[in-house]
Amino acid sequence: MLTAKTKRKENIAEYLLYMWQIEDIIRAYSLDIEKINASIISKYEVSDDIKSEIINWYESLIEMMRMENVVSGEHLQLCKNVLIQLSEFHSKLLKSVNFPEYTAEFYKTLPFIVELRAKAGDNKAGELETCFNALYGMLLLRIQGKEISVDTEIAMKQISKFIATLAFLYKKNESKSIFEEDK
């Protein structure tokens, strides 16, 4: 909860990846708040009031997962909504003549997106979803200590750079619209 709040304010991309990780953690503990509390929450060095807030946050996520039937896979609607917002923002950036650097980063990334879609056999995922799936997959590989090929490292470096640019512009736009010049 504390990390999620900070990430949501500071970096929308990191927030989304973090929330995907939280979903997986909840699944790993079989949606059991007692197990999550014993293994994770109890180890936080915060006041009892904050621990109670964290427990409530996990409980609300567990309830949402059950209600949305994403217990064994898929993502919560709140995560899907973030991806939708980012996709809409991405489209606006591409349509604007004021962000040629962003457009260039996207077109440098596009061959990797196409390749990832082909390998995964997934033509349903949007461009950003493909990027986030790749970044999350890379995170999981690193956590598991698995070897990562040079080609994959190159692709991930470009995808990371592109998503970082998107997140930077998104944050900048949250405080003041960066599209005012387009009017």
The model's pLDDT over 31-58, given as tens digits with 9 standing for 90+, comes to: 999 999 999 999 999 999 999 999 999 9
55-87 pLDDT tens trace = 999 999 999 999 999 999 899 999 999 999 999
Both structure tokens of 180: 């005012």
**Alpha carbons 47 and 75: distance in angstroms, whole number:** 30
**Domain spans, the chain:** 2-67, 80-177
Does 182 or 179 have the greater pLDDT score? 179
Q: Whole-angstrom Cα distance, residue 78 to residue 83?
A: 9
Torsion 126-132-138-140 (CA) sign: negative
H/E segment holding residue 14? helix 12-28
pTM for the full model?
Answer: 0.92
Q: What tokens were used for 20?
A: 């995907």
Q: What is the pLDDT of residue 49?
A: 95
Widest Cα–Cα separation across the chain: 54
- The letter for the amino acid at 47 is S
pLDDT of 135: 97
